[in-house]
Amino acid sequence: MTQTAKRKKLPIGIQTLREIREEGYYYVDKTPIALDLVKGGKYYFLSRPRRFGKSLFLDTLKELFEGNEALFKGLAAESQWNWSVKYPVVRFSFGSTNFNHPQSIQDALHRQLTYFEKVWQIEKPLPDAAGRFADLIVHLHEKTSLPVVVLIDEYDKPILDALLKPEIARNNRDFLRGFYATIKDYDAHIKFSFLTGVSKFSKVSLFSGLNNLYDITLDPKYSTICGYTDNDLDTLFAIELEGLDRDKIREWYNGYHWLGEGVYNPFDILQLFKRREFDNYWFETGTPTFLVDLLFSRKVPTLRLDRMITSSSVISSFEIEKIATEALLFQTGYLTIKNSQRAGGQTFYTLGYPNREVYQSLNESLLAALVDTPEQSQNTLRLYELLLQNDFTGLRQLFHSFFASIPYHWYSNNDIKNYEGYYASVFYSYFASLGLDVIVEDSTNLGRIDMTLRFNQQVYLFEFKVVELVPEGEALQQIKDKGYAEKYKGLGQPIHLIGVEFSKENRNIVSFVVEGDAPEALSGCHNSVQI
C-alpha cells in the first residue's frame, strides 16, 4: 500500500472491520492471508498474545464470508472474492465475561446461542449448549442452503480466567471440550472454522474431539497474520513516524517472532503514535499477577529468562495441572523465539525477550517480588544516577541497603536453594528494569562472565560469589585470572571489573571490589570499595 497523503484516525481498541473502514481509520490489509486460509483448508487454530489483533482478524473473516463487499474496496480481497455468495456466520466470543465462577461458561454460551436463535428464528431450543449449537448449525445450513462458518474468539479465556481455581478451570475445560467437538461432528454442515486464543491447550485435554484443527501458530507463512511489520510502519504509517526515532521504535516494540517475519504489537504502535512518547503501553494493560507469582514461586532466576531453551512439544502445550514456565511465557507474549534448531526428530527453540518494553517491564515486576520493598522505584532511580557518576561507593551502599531491607521472615518463608542465583537476579533485575544493556553468562574464550553491563560508553564486568562471613576475594580474582576484559578492550572504552561476594548467613554483601582496567589511553582508572 502506498504512503498515505494525510493522517487517518488511529484504531486504538477497535476490533470491528466495519467501524475501521467506514469511519476512516488506518487499516493494515490482512485479507491476502484470509484468502490464502480459505483456499487452503477448513479448520484452523491460531494462538497469539493479547492485544495483537486476533479479534479484528476474526471480524474480517466474518465480513468476508457474509459478503459485505463495500468494506473491502481497495483491499486485496475486493477482486478475488465471490461477493454474490453470503454464507451464514456464527461467531462466539468469550472476551467480555469473567469465568472464574461456576456456571459462568454455560450462562455465557446460552446467552450467545439465544441471540443466534432469535436472529434465525429457531424455536424450541434444546436444553444443553452443545445440542443447541448442533441444532443451530443444521438449521442454518437448511435455511440458507449454504454451509456454516464458525468463528470462536478467545476460546481459552474460560480456562485462563480460572487458573487460580483449578477445579473451576477443569470444569470449564471439560464443558468446552464437548462444545467444540460439535464442530467436527457436524463437518458436513460447515464451510470454514477458525479458533483464536492466547494459549494452546493440548489436543488431549481440550481438543480431543476436534483433532482436525490445523494449528498455524508457528507456520512461517502466517507469521504476520497479527501485528504490524516494518513495511507497514514505513508505508501505511509513514506520516506518523515524523519526529520519532525509527531505530528506537524497533528497539522498544519490534521483535515478536513465530518462525517468520518479526512484527510489532499494534497496541504499542498506535499508542506511541497518539502520545508521541515511548512507554510500556502493552505491558501496563494487564500483565497477569499469577504470571509473576508463578515465576517467583518456581524460583525461576530472572537471569535465565532471556535464554530459555525448550522443545516444540513443550512450547506448544498448556495444561491446567502443570503449566510449563516456557510455554506460559511464550504463549502470553513475554518471551519470543530467538532461534530454532533440529536435533533428531525434535525442534528446539531458544526463547528471549522480544523487545525493550517487555525486558524492562517484566524485570520491574519481578523485582518487586524479589525484594518486596516500597522504596523500589526510588532505589532504581538512585542506581541510574550513581552509574552516571561511576560512584562505586554509592553503588555498594545502595545494593547493601537493597538486601538489608528484605525482612528475615521472607527468607524463612521462601526456600531459596541457590543463593548466588537469587542475589545475582536482584542485581540483574535492577539494571534490567532501567532498560540497560545487560548480558548474563557473557561468553569469552576462557569462560563466562556472570554479568556484563554496557552503559554510558563504558563496560562493567560483574562476578558473583557466595562465601562465608569473611570475604575471600575470589570474585574479582576470577575476572582477572580469566582475562574477561580482553573481549571488550577493542572498544576503546573504560572497563570496570566488579567482584561481589555475599554472605549466606548475613544475607548481604560482604565484599564489593572494583578495579578499573581501561585501555592505555584511559589508564589510571582504579577504584576499590571493600567492606
For residue 469, CA distances in Å to 119, 405, 510, 530 come to 76, 19, 7, 14
Residue 141's contacts (CB-CB under 8 Å, 6 or more residues apart) are: 88, 147, 148, 189
The CATH fold of domain 372-522: Trna Endonuclease; Chain: A, domain 1 (3.40.1350)
Residue carrying C-alpha cell 522505584: 377
pTM of the predicted model, to two decimals?
0.87
Check if 29-222 and 372-522 are the same fold. no
Could you tell me which residues are beta bridge partners of residue 90? 150
Question: CATH assignment of 29-222, given 3.40.50, 1.10.8, 1.10.3470, 2.60.40?
Answer: 3.40.50
* H/E run at residue 459: strand 458-467
Strand 308-311: give its sheet, edge to edge. Answer: 308-311, 346-352, 336-343
User: Which residue bears the cell 557518576?
Assistant: 389
DSSP per-residue string spanning 383-412: HHHHHHHT-HHHHHHHHHHHHHTS-HHHHH
DSSP letters, 45-90, are: EEE--TTSSHHHHHHHHHHHHTT-GGGGTTSGGGGTS-TT----EE
Report d(CA 514, CA 391) in Å as an integer.
11
Instruction: Give the DSSP H/E element, type plus range, for residue 340.
Output: strand 336-343
Q: Alpha-carbon distance 227 to 53, whole Å?
A: 7
Paired strand residues for 343: 346
Q: DSSP secondary-structure letter at 228?
A: B
| Domain ranges within the chain, ordered by starting residue | 29-222, 287-352, 372-522
Along the 531 residues of the chain, how does pLDDT read in single tens digits?
444 458 999 999 999 999 999 999 999 999 999 999 999 999 999 999 999 999 999 999 999 999 999 999 999 999 999 999 999 999 999 877 788 888 899 999 999 999 999 999 888 777 889 999 999 999 999 999 999 999 999 988 888 888 878 899 889 888 888 888 888 889 999 999 999 988 876 554 555 556 678 899 999 999 999 999 999 999 999 999 999 999 999 999 999 999 999 999 999 999 999 999 999 999 988 666 677 777 877 777 787 888 889 988 888 777 777 778 898 899 889 999 999 998 888 899 999 999 999 999 998 888 877 776 666 677 888 999 999 999 999 999 998 888 877 655 444 444 545 556 777 888 888 899 999 999 988 887 778 888 999 999 999 999 998 887 677 788 899 999 999 999 999 999 999 999 999 887 777 888 999 998 443 323 333 444 444
